[in-house]
A and B are shown apart, each in its own frame.
Chain A
Amino acid sequence: MHSFIQFITGPMVWISFGICFIGIVFRLLQIFRLTREKENFMFTFLSVKFSLRSILVWLVPFLPVSTRKSPVFYAVSYIFHILLFLTPLFLLSHVILIEENFNLSWWTVSDWLADIFTVAVICALIFFAIRRRMVPEVKFLTGLSDYVFIILVALPFISGFIAYHQFFAYQWMVIIHVISGELMLILIPFTRFFHMILAPLTRAYTASEFGGVRHSKDW
């Protein structure tokens, strides 16, 4: 068991981050190549000004009209996305591991607060799952994979929560926690998780067309 734990907390972390990083670069190059091949005209009206303006506007909660039309969903979504990154990045246990291996450390949240954040993330994911069943227009677009991705994101948080509280099967919970976290990293470039990289590009495309061609706002 020791060598297995050593592998998943050592080389596997490097492999996961490596695949994630190289995958992102590869996917971005692929996207630029495809755009050049198939939609080269896009570069004739692509505007840095309209792109940045749109990205900035969409970063402000409830500024875009469509976010105000579904305030509950967007409120949950904002909180979820912020905590999804904030919790693991500023978790003491994670920072300790980085500190012990690289002599690097930064500000952390206290464990009780991280605990609340974790519960909030899990609740948000339950909300997303229920929404996919309840809202007709969303249900229409929902397939099995949508639930699989919700479970994939939930896994490291649920296993981390159970492990932190030492409710049961501690060792296995940590193992599930580490592996599911690494799986998420590996999947980022190749699945819909890639929207974290793609979203600004989508905004740039839409904003350039709306600003430069249609002369209207895209929010």
Chain B
Amino acid sequence: MNHKHLFIISGLIFLTFFAYMTVSAQNEIIRLDNSAFENPQRPGAVFDHDTHNEMAGLEDDCSVCHHVYDGKTLIEGESSEDSACSDCHELKPTPENSVPLRKAFHNRCKDCHFTSQKGPVLCGECHIK
């Protein structure tokens, strides 16, 4: 086996590997972290943050989802990208926050999707098995 052959074979191996990585990266399902829930009955919702925001035109307005509330009033212009939804939304409604975590997730997604007539709205469209 000369150097030319070795070069071609290693090139082919590299290309196959690269192609596999690309395809598997595309197939990788990105799901929301549902570890805050006790005994979740469904897999976490499929959600690719960047692709979603690109399609929804939300790149410049993080506060639509990452909002900040003071009691019941929304604080305009402030956003909360650094904190998790479960930092404020508890599993059960509390005096400080009447919206429990599951409801926060569900209504945040569904309300927008119904209003914009785009995106998944049925249980299994997000909670893909």
Residues of chain A touching chain B, judged by Cβ–Cβ distance below 8 Å, are 2-3, 5-6, 92-93, 96, 99-100, 110-111, 163-166, 170-171, 174
User: Can you report 15 residue pairs joining A to B where beta carbons are below 8 Å apart?
Assistant: A2-B121, A6-B121, A92-B41, A96-B106, A99-B103, A110-B41, A111-B41, A111-B42, A163-B124, A164-B124, A165-B129, A170-B124, A170-B125, A171-B122, A174-B123
Q: Is A5 touching B41 in the complex (CB atoms < 8 A)?
A: no
- We find that the number of chain B residues with CB closer than 8 angstroms to chain A is 18
Q: Is A166 touching B129 in the complex (CB atoms < 8 A)?
A: yes
Q: Is B118 touching A2 in the complex (CB atoms < 8 A)?
A: yes
B103-118 vs A, CB cutoff 8 Å, 1 = contact: the mask equals 1001100000110011
- Choice from B117, B122, B125 contacting A3 with Cβ under 8 Å: B117
Q: Of residues B102, B106, B123, which shows the largest number of chain A Cβ atoms within 10 Å of its Cβ? A: B123
Q: Which 4 A-B pairs have the closest CB atoms?
A: A2-B117, A111-B41, A174-B122, A166-B124
Residues of chain B touching chain A, judged by Cβ–Cβ distance below 8 Å, are 39, 41-42, 102-103, 106-107, 113-114, 117-118, 121-125, 128-129
Residues of chain B contacted by A3 (CB below 8 angstroms): 117
| Chain A interface SS verdict (over half) | helix
Q: Is A100 touching B107 in the complex (CB atoms < 8 A)?
A: yes
**In the bound complex, how far is the Cα of B114 from the Cα of A5, in angstroms?**
9
If A92-B41, A111-B42 touch, whether A174 touches B124 (CB-CB below 8 Å) is yes
Residues of chain B contacted by A2 (CB below 8 angstroms): 113-114, 117-118, 121
**In the bound complex, how far is the Cα of B129 from the Cα of A165, in angstroms?**
8
**In the bound complex, how far is the Cα of B123 from the Cα of A166, in angstroms?**
10
**In the bound complex, how far is the Cα of B102 from the Cα of A2, in angstroms?**
22
Q: Is A93 touching B123 in the complex (CB atoms < 8 A)?
A: yes
Q: Is B122 touching A5 in the complex (CB atoms < 8 A)?
A: yes
